[in-house]
Amino acid sequence: MLHLKNKRIIISLLSILLVSGLLWSQEPGSWTHFRGSDLNGISTEKGFPSTWNDSANIAWKVPESGKGWSSPVIFGKQVWFTTANQESREMRALCVDLETGLTLHDRLIFHPEKLYRIHAINSYATPTPAIEEEFIYLHFGRYGTSCLNTSTGETKWERTDLQCEHIQGPGSSLMIYKDKLIVHLEGTDHQQILALDKLTGKTIWIAERPAELYDLMAPIGKKAFVTPIIVNVKGRDLLISNGSTVCIAYDPLTGIEVWRVSQGDDSTISMPVEGDGLVFFYTSFVTGEDGKKYAELFAVDPDGAGDIGKTHIRWRMKAPILQLSTPVYVNGLLYTVDAKGVFYCLDAKTGEVNWSENLKGKYHSSPIYANGLLYISSIRGETFVYRAGPEPELVAKNMLKGEIWATPALTGGAILMRTSEYLYKIVGD
């Protein structure tokens, strides 16, 4: 029999493993969420390519059957992504074999009687799925949320009762946290974060954005398109969710608010990012004394409670509004492409600009990092490859057919790059 002291040690170790994790039992090479299994845009694997074009270093490419800005997710040998056809009103989930690109599943998930309008740069399949062993979770905003068995493609559960007036279409991606699926529904009518039981789809908790802030806003500004992250502060997990006027840390077990930082009065899109003990996020719109609107990039110490806006902001940098791209943190440096196409390398602790490059064009896909390289893709189908570091070093420029709106996925030395024309598997020489 185990000694009582040994039992306590084992229980403590198990608790540590369970506390931190999104998917603490991930399969190597998996890319399970928007911006990866840790939602940080980083792969620790090696061997990724730096150069390619439509015919060079392409293992396979799968033609797009509809339109969708969701990123591919990967588990084992399966690659899943979503797409939608506006004319037929079909919202589908597709799965292809990672090695061959051959279709394994092509499922019609939702077929609504009516489609509501979306923004010109949005799609009806923008939210990225979340995947784990045996199951994939899909979200199409007001049209429905569902869970499929990844072996059979069969539906385990679905919800079509989770409604909100997105106005410009859905954009928030899903996140798995332990036994929960975190879903954002933030429109002009209500702004909710929900935790669903990932095995049944039943609601565990609902968090409402603070009425005392949102009641002061015009309805069009209340919507948000954000995906949250989990950070661990002194052994406690926090769900960081950046709404249209306030970034809030919630207890992910209960949905209870822990702290908030409020600024601005319109939509947020870019995800929060963690690094150097700080949380970085772009605020919503602020109107300056000259009447011009701007946003800010905040660095916030997440070890706090209540309204921490006056006490825990460590640095701030003015930025253009409508920030779609999410920064990536690597080795003390924060890399971000702002809404005007300027690529910054910042000291994460101080906010000091190490360097900046005007890339021109529009960047709605978020930067990703692997093996010393940063990948930044534009809607023109161009990807810049930079070597990470305190000085700018452009390694390559690459072009593919179509526009790039989706953030790429990384696995086993290969890049899964989705354009408006194809899903590509890009490999090294």
Average pLDDT of the chain is 92
Backbone angles phi, psi at 183, to 5 degrees: -125, 135
Predicted confidence band of residue 20 (pLDDT cuts 50, 70, 90)? very low
Residue by residue, DSSP assigns 362-404 as ---SPPEEETTEEEEE-TTSEEEEEE-SSS--EEEEEE-SS--
For the segment 215-242, the average pLDDT, to the nearest whole number, is: 94
List, in order, residues 6 or more apart from 357 with CB less than 8 Å away. Answer: 342, 343, 392, 394
For the segment 153-179, the average pLDDT, to the nearest whole number, is: 95
Residue 26 has pLDDT above 70, yes or no: no
Nearest to 111, CA basis, from 71, 66, 76: 66
CATH no. for residue 277? 2.40.10.480
Percentage of residues in the chain having pLDDT higher than 70: 93
Q: How far apart are CA 395 and CA 387, in angstroms?
A: 6
Residue 263 has pLDDT above 50, yes or no: yes
Percentage of residues in the chain having pLDDT higher than 90: 84
Q: What is the pLDDT of residue 212?
A: 94
Domain assignment present for 313: yes
Domain assignment present for 369: no
Q: What is the pLDDT of residue 27?
A: 64
Domain assignment present for 229: yes
Domain assignment present for 249: yes
Predicted confidence band of residue 289 (pLDDT cuts 50, 70, 90)? confident
For the segment 373-383, the average pLDDT, to the nearest whole number, is: 97
Domain assignment present for 310: yes
Nearest to 382, CA basis, from 368, 361, 410, 355: 361
The boundaries of the domain holding residue 235 are 211-324
Kind of pairing between the strands at 130-132 and 155-159 = unpaired
Domain assignment present for 320: yes
Torsion, Cα of 323, 326, 331, 334 (10° steps): 0
List, in order, residues 6 or more apart from 399 with CB less than 8 Å away. Answer: 53, 54, 381, 382, 383
Q: How far apart are CA 278 and CA 275, in angstroms?
A: 5
Domain assignment present for 424: no
Total domains, the chain: 1
**pLDDT tens profile 45-96:** 999 999 999 989 999 999 998 999 999 999 999 999 999 999 999 999 999 9
- Count of other CB atoms within 10 angstroms of residue 379: 17
**pLDDT tens profile 124-139:** 999 999 999 999 999 9
Cross-strand pairs, 233: 236
Lowest pLDDT segment from 13-17, 33-37, 172-176: 13-17
Domain assignment present for 337: no
